[in-house]
Amino acid sequence: MVSRGRQLKELINAPEILITPGVYDGFSARLVQKMGFKTGSISGAGVSESRLGWADRGIMGYGENVEACRKIAGCSDLLLQGDADTGYGNALNVYFTVRGFEDAGLAAVMIEDQVWPKRCGHMAGKAVIPAEEMVQKVKAAVAARRDPDFVIKARTDAAGPLGIEEAIRRLNMYAEAGADCLFADALLSAKDIERVARNVPRPLSVNMGLGIRSRPTTPLLSPKQLEEMGVAQISYPRLLSAAALKGMMNAMQVFVEEVVQKNNVVDRPDLLVSFGELNELMGLDTLDELERQFAS
């Protein structure tokens, strides 16, 4: 049987760019799978925001993160890629962090070189640890995996605070340490993206931050454009979490205006998924079949 890591590695190394929506819960994971995608990137920001109610500033710890990933993996056949932040400590901690994410049923995990507590890559005030310290974390991550094809993704946030050349230097060091996939966050131009992609020896992944408008960030480019630049994988980490929150805001606005303030009875199918659609997405057919087999 081909492992989940091997399946993901083949997709990342394929000639076509791999499009990876961000997921953060059962709703989003099941929807991404239903829409035909093979892989999803579990958004650490999305998990922190939805489960804890706090922004992506290092409030969420290892246990909360890995347990959320385990539950998402349990309801989905997606080749899931985890976000382990900085690894929750030094290289020793990274070793056990990687073990935990692999045991949770994922196909990949990402470790970044930010100072802890980390922050979302598109927030101001980022700082990074020495590159040599991150190299040891990558080596520990590679040594920790049980499946040699479990994908280790190494991320650098150095482009903002230290410049594009330092980001490239670091990614090359992380590749030499054994990382399978590289990720440079918050690159500020198409030229920078292409420059990184052409100067690193492993597949490059980038994020498209849909909905981020408050400060300069990575330009929004099409998958085809990025593929032509040499990018191997593109993820959309905030697409579904931001869309879900916007949908809830819209529904609550109508609820407050019509039901609370005007005492009207209002049902808006344009704002609410139907009960049937919800149950179909959430696997009710499977539960019914299991009940017929074992509980009748």
Q: Distance (Å, rounded) from C-alpha 5 to C-alpha 2?
A: 8
CATH topology (fold) of 4-238:
TIM Barrel (3.20.20)
Phi, psi of 188 (to 5 degrees): -100, 5
pTM: 0.94
Q: Distance (Å, rounded) from C-alpha 18 to C-alpha 223?
A: 8
Name the token pair of 36: 């035909």
What pLDDT is recorded for position 231?
98
What pLDDT is recorded for position 216?
53
What pLDDT is recorded for position 151?
98
Residue span(s) of the chain under CATH 3.20.20.60 come to: 4-238
Mean pLDDT by 10 residues, the chain (296 residues): 97 98 97 98 95 93 97 97 97 98 98 91 85 98 98 96 96 98 93 97 92 69 97 96 96 96 94 96 96 90
Name the token pair of 57: 């500033």
Phi, psi of 219 (to 5 degrees): -65, 145
Three-state secondary structure call for residue 146: coil
Q: Distance (Å, rounded) from C-alpha 27 to C-alpha 222?
A: 26
Within 8 A by CB and 6+ apart from 177, the residues are 135, 136, 138, 139, 142, 154
